[in-house]
């Protein structure tokens, strides 16, 4: 039995900017519950005060060892978003912004830290999440000779949103998967990309779908009462405002819906490099009075916005998994998701659509809000289904993999 895991992550709630931190939190918590000992290495320094709370917060009732190493770094998983598209068009390592000429330096520094930690600690297996930590995983394997598992939550092909990829990132991803003893993909959708675009043998790749912790939270105050009382419906988008997440398709569908009915408002929650162009597009389409931008929301504010909404839409162009629809269902709001997502493999009580088919997206949005019986079925059945999509299941699969690697 392999019990001690040296894990390389990159962000952790509440210091996360996306789904990866949420996934890391859910998985480590479930692994600890199943008696695994996890040393989680994070590249980003958290405040000392919070980090004590934070450890206690993750595994309050657990006596197993969780150590956390931080070293000061500027890494962030969704780095360079503001100028991502420029990097895609061949500016090489110039990611612009505060990461300019720095990001790959940080990655190599993190990789070096992998050597240091591998010499210092004892462990049975190495588990690294996504490309920023793969270098550290490879180094830790070289030093210790322990098996290395590369966990792929997203690939460069997803982040590019179909426009292009960064070659250096691609190379780091590819090498990480090649050097790994086993690769975990968060969906068949992602496994397919790994096999097709990275040339990794299908036998080496195991699919472990993400889960969600089902916590019923009643009594979160509903706002926007006036709209709701007037019989208006709210359709929600939550995600980074980047090509990958398809907010532009959401807006074009919204336009079609607005042409047909006055009863719907749209909320776009998130930030990203497309924010201003989306605001301009909404104005150009003449629906500024029907579409609200809230900026990036987390915690209670995010839960509130899930709860007041009548339909959640995830129109992603390429979504390795997609935890937000599950969060929405936990909060009792039915979902419409793109077929180009990993979560569509595990969620049957959802409306589904190809991201490019804005006519069909509009049809499903308007049908879901016009026909109560449809919304009720999606909501009721979806909430039940989500209870079975657990991190415990994901952790079990990981443990089996640790012992067979």
- The verdict on 363 binding other proteins (CB under 8 A) reads yes
Number of Cβ within 10 Å of residue 95's Cβ equals 24
Q: Exactly one of 366, 394, 395, 405 binds other proteins (CB under 8 A); which one?
A: 366
Q: Exactly one of 74, 207, 224, 381 binds other proteins (CB under 8 A); which one?
A: 381
194 in Cβ contact with 200 (< 8 Å): yes
- The verdict on 370 binding other proteins (CB under 8 A) reads yes
Q: Exactly one of 47, 220, 301, 371 binds other proteins (CB under 8 A); which one?
A: 371
Cβ 382 to other proteins, closest distance in Å?
A: 9
Stretch of 106-114, 188-196, 230-238, 379-387 lying at the interface with other proteins (CB under 8 A): 379-387
- The verdict on 362 binding other proteins (CB under 8 A) reads yes
Q: Give 238's DSSP letter.
A: E
- The verdict on 288 binding other proteins (CB under 8 A) reads no
Q: Exactly one of 347, 358, 398, 401 binds other proteins (CB under 8 A); which one?
A: 347
Q: Is the dihedral of CA 175, 177, 180, 181 positive or negative?
A: negative
Q: Give 46's DSSP letter.
A: P
- Tracing tokens 């690769």 back to the chain, one arrives at 183
Q: Exactly one of 142, 225, 260, 284 binds other proteins (CB under 8 A); which one?
A: 260
The C-alpha atoms of residue 369 and residue 335 are separated, in whole angstroms, by 11
The C-alpha atoms of residue 193 and residue 231 are separated, in whole angstroms, by 44
Stretch of 63-71, 82-90, 203-211, 376-384 lying at the interface with other proteins (CB under 8 A): 376-384
- Helix, strand, or coil here: 275? helix
Stretch of 243-251, 293-301, 306-314, 355-363 lying at the interface with other proteins (CB under 8 A): 355-363
The C-alpha atoms of residue 193 and residue 199 are separated, in whole angstroms, by 9
If you count them, how many residues does the chain have? 405
Choice between 179 and 357, CB closer to other proteins: 357
Number of Cβ within 10 Å of residue 146's Cβ equals 19
- The verdict on 258 binding other proteins (CB under 8 A) reads no
Strand order in the sheet with 148-152: 66-70, 37-42, 4-8, 125-129, 148-152, 182-185, 205-207
Stretch of 162-170, 265-273, 325-333, 384-392 lying at the interface with other proteins (CB under 8 A): 384-392
- The verdict on 349 binding other proteins (CB under 8 A) reads yes
Contact set with other proteins (CB under 8 A):
256, 260, 347-352, 359-360, 362-364, 366-367, 370-374, 376-378, 380-381, 384-385, 388
């Amino acid at each position: 039995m392999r019990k001690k895991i040296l894990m390389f992550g990159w962000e952790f709630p509440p210091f996360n900017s996306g789904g990866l931190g949420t996934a890391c939190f859910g998985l480590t918590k479930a692994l600890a519950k199943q008696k695994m000992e996890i040393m989680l290495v994070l590249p980003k320094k958290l405040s000392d005060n919070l980090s004590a709370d934070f450890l206690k917060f993750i595994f309050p009732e657990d006596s197993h060892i969780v150590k956390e190493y931080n070293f000061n770094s500027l890494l962030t998983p969704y780095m360079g978003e503001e100028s991502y598209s420029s990097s895609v068009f061949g500016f090489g390592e110039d990611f612009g912004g505060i990461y300019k000429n720095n990001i790959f330096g940080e990655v190599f520094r993190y990789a070096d830290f992998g050597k240091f930690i591998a010499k210092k600690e004892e462990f049975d297996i190495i588990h690294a999440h996504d490309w920023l930590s793969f270098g550290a995983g490879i180094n830790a394997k070289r030093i210790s000779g322990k098996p290395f598992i590369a966990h792929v939550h997203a690939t460069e092909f997803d982040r590019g949103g179909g426009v292009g990829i960064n070659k250096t990132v691609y190379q780091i991803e590819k090498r990480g998967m090649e050097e790994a003893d086993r690769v975990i993909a968060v969906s068949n959708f992602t496994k397919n990309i790994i096999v097709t675009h990275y040339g990794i043998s299908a036998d080496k790749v195991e699919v472990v779908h993400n889960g969600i912790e089902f916590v019923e939270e009643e009594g979160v105050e509903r706002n926007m009462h006036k709209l709701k009382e007037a019989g208006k419906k709210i359709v929600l988008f939550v995600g980074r405002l980047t090509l990958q997440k398809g907010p532009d398709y959401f807006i074009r569908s919204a336009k079609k819906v607005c042409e047909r009915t006055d009863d719907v408002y749209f909320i776009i929650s998130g930030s990203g490099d497309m924010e201003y162009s989306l605001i301009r597009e909404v104005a150009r389409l003449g629906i500024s009075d029907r579409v609200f931008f809230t900026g990036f929301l987390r915690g209670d504010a995010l839960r509130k916005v899930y709860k007041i909404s009548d339909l959640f839409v995830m129109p992603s162009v390429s979504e390795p998994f997609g935890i937000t629809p599950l969060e929405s269902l936990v909060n009792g709001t039915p979902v419409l998701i793109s077929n180009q997502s990993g979560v569509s493999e595990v969620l049957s009580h959802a409306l589904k659509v190809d991201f490019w088919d804005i006519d069909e997206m509009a049809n499903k949005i308007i049908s879901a809000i016009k026909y109560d019986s449809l919304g009720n079925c999606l909501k009721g059945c979806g909430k039940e289904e989500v209870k079975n999509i657990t991190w415990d299941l994901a952790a079990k699969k990981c443990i089996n993999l640790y012992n067979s690697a």
